[in-house]
Amino acid sequence: MAEYILARGNGRHIPHEDKIFGISNRAKAMIAEKGADKVINATIGSLLDDNGNLVVLSSVDEVFKHLSPAEYADYAPIGGIKPFREAVQQAAFGSHRPKGYVEAVATPGGTGSLRNVIANYSDGGDQVLTSDWHWAPYNTIAGEIGRSIATFEFFTENGKFNIDSFQKKSAELLAKQESLVIILNTPAHNPTGYSLTLEDWDHVIAVLQEEAKCGKAIALVIDAAYIDFAGDEEEYRRFLPKLEALPENVLPIMAYSLSKTYTLYGTRCGAMICIAKTKEIADEFKRVCEYSSRGSWSNSAKVAQVILSRIYGEPGLLERVDKERAHYREMLIKRGRAFEEEAKKVGLKIVPFDAGFFISIPCSDPDAISAKLEKEGVFIVPLAKGLRVSVASISEDKCRKLPAIIKAAMEE
Ligand SMILES: Cc1ncc(COP(=O)(O)O)c(C=O)c1O
């Protein structure tokens, strides 16, 4: 089968299938044929329990089941219902709310936020900057609206955040375009599990203070899709007040998602939240993003907006949700540690990992190795620079077994 389909309307080459969903479908087919115990499906980006069932927070589920029809079926205003716009700021910032003019606009998941930022804070033909290890859909989202992705090297040879590469690439792009969108996916980055340290953040801020002297508009997107699975929720929000030191022409925007944090993946709910230096910039952000939403998906689904508003509006409920999530986060962190430990034992090199849904293994021929592993019933995702293992979707036991299997496939 050809790898691409030619879109008749405009001659675009569209991949035959979404890579990750394609592999996952093959894994499911093998499970149906040979049984779950013969297969390790480490491709899925949702949190599964040790039996392979989707984890849905029961506290969230309870709220869902008590909604009235109007609460789940009605249209929401384009930018989101008022209580949601307030609750989502609390959810995103916790007790580390940065000072500034904040506006939140509802979006269909974090994906909607990313799409809207790129559409409104970059120009047609521009390049959007992110790290070389990154979530592949960034390319699709940018490409769909006539932009593309440029990358800086995420890590130095010693496994530290590569601030020099970040600076060089930012300067290079600012020299040739009138504006720049930068996406930093942290904490618990997909696909590596890396979280920028507070020191990394100091360096990022210093670089942007310097680069912004050119006067051009920079949008700094913090893709926080995994922020509540990195470790202690408050600890991983401590970087937020640092954003206050950015100059007026750098606009920090958090792309916040309810998909993982509230296990509401399919309800398509998130928000783009700006922290602006002036009211004028914040007002413009709100109007421009709402306008853009209207012309792409219109309004976002109401159901999860109501759920989040309820969680933040009912005493005790938020505590229950946080407690339940903490239990699953612990499960996830244990899986990550188990993989890391075994990788160390068998000498399998991994990309710097802190926490989160994924771990990455650098290698030179990811497609060949993953094809080889598929034959053995091990399904992982080949990326440009290595292999991605979803520890979110396999048990701790399987996390312990996997490093030796991958190492053997790499050495064959
Ligand atoms: C890095 C990253 N950013 C953003 C998202 C957005 O997710 P959603 O649109 O489901 O909220 C995801 C989801 O997998 C992701 O991995």
- What is residue 129's three-state secondary structure? strand
Which residues are near ligand 1 (CB < 6 Å)?
Answer: 45, 109-111, 135, 185, 190, 223, 225, 257, 259, 265, 270
Q: What is the CA radius of gyration of the chain?
A: 21
Q: Which of 135, 221, 391 to mutate to test the pocket of ligand 1 (most atoms within 8 A of CB)?
A: 135
pLDDT of residue 20: 86
- Report which ligand 1 atom has the smallest distance to the Cα of 108: 9
pLDDT in tens, 353-388: 999 999 999 999 999 999 999 999 999 999 999 999
Cα–Cα dist 266/252, whole Å: 27
pLDDT in tens, 241-279: 999 999 999 999 999 999 999 999 999 999 999 999 999
Report phi then psi at 104, rounded to 5: -120, 135
- Atom 6 (ligand 1) nearest CA: 110
User: For residues 387 and 360, is the Cβ–Cβ distance under 8 A?
Assistant: yes
Report phi then psi at 94, rounded to 5: 55, -135
Torsion angle of the four alpha carbons 399, 404, 410, 412, in this order, in degrees rounded to the nearest 10? -140
C-alpha 210 to ligand 1 mean position (Å): 30
Q: Which residue, chain included where needed, has tokens 């890396």?
A: 194
C-alpha 345 to ligand 1 mean position (Å): 32
- CB atoms inside a 10 Å sphere around CB 30: 18
Cα–Cα dist 109/51, whole Å: 27
C-alpha 358 to ligand 1 mean position (Å): 13
All structural domains of the chain: 62-313 (3.40.640.10)
pLDDT in tens, 61-98: 999 999 999 999 999 999 999 999 999 999 999 999 99
- Report which ligand 1 atom has the smallest distance to the Cα of 259: 11
